Amino acid sequence: MNVAESPARALVNRGALRLAEGALDEAEALLREAVSVDPANATAHVNLGYLLACRGDHDAAIAEAEEAIALEPTRGAPWAHMGMSMLASGRVEAGLAALSRSVRLDPDNHFAWDAMGRALLALGRPAAAEEAWAAGVAAKDDDVDMLISLATAVAAQDRTGEAARILLRATEVAPSSARAWTQLGVVSLVRQDYGTAGEALLRALDLDPTCEEARYHLALLHVLVGAHDEARVVLDALAAAGGSWSDEATRVAAALPC
């Protein structure tokens, strides 16, 4: 049966709308009803699987993806959803294989490319992660988070100059992204480009004064240029805050000359 003629079409559409609105309980009820009304509606299985993955029920999400694949094996989305749920449940190689199938069927699925990149980088394969994220950026060149991820993979291969250029592009795509400016500052610091590092980190803090990563690296910049008093003020504040940068701030502050 053509999807447009499915008796569950209205239910699927309403379920997708509730899912987009974040009303997961309503969306799940509608999508489960859609699957019951028309078990051959692949879109209902795809959307229900995605919803279940959002809830953390990855085994059930994989089962729904498998139902969709059985109905429409050349559709990329269920392969992507299955791959992401497999990764989340620790089935890494199977997840990567499913994601690879997804992007072969749909090379523009930047979500699948992004998931592949994250998994590959976590496995210590930055060159392969770079390839995945580069393909994702090619599919959606205004995705600032994917540009930052691509720069991370490139920097992990000691190509910090190229990483800085990618991050500069990220700041052009999303000039209000404190994260992009912070990462540009971090990479510039590694490259000993202190002028760019300082400008980028200050810009990040203008955009988000609570960004501890930017504050910590600005303190490191103070240390590197010999401004120890300024560094100590920032490091002591980070240490006292007890956040994710507290231990590092404490360690660096302890190493400063009295």
Q: DSSP assignment, residue 256? A: S
228-241 helix and 246-255 helix, angle to the nearest 10 degrees: 150
Please give the Cα distance from 211 to 232 (Å, whole number).
Answer: 17
Identify which of 83, 15, 90 has the alpha carbon closest to the alpha carbon of residue 47.
15
Q: Which two tokens stand for residue 249?
A: 């701030």
Q: Which two tokens stand for residue 231?
A: 């560094």
Residue type, 46: V
pLDDT in tens, 43-78: 999 999 999 999 999 999 999 999 999 999 999 999
Is the pLDDT score of 258 beyond 80?
A: no
Q: Which residues contact 196 (CB under 8 A, 6 or more apart)?
A: 164, 184, 185, 188
pLDDT in tens, 1-10: 444 567 888 9
- Assigned CATH topology for domain 1-106: 1.25.40
Domain boundaries, the chain: 1-106
What is the pLDDT, as a whole number, of residue 1?
Answer: 45
pLDDT in tens, 91-121: 999 999 999 999 999 999 999 999 999 999 9
Q: DSSP assignment, residue 55? A: T
Global pTM value: 0.86
pLDDT in tens, 149-180: 999 999 999 999 999 999 999 999 999 999 99
Determine whether 142 is exposed, middle or buried from the number of CB atoms within 10 Å of its CB (0-12, 13-18, 19+): exposed
Whether residue 127 contacts residue 157, with contact meaning beta carbons closer than 8 Å, is answered with yes
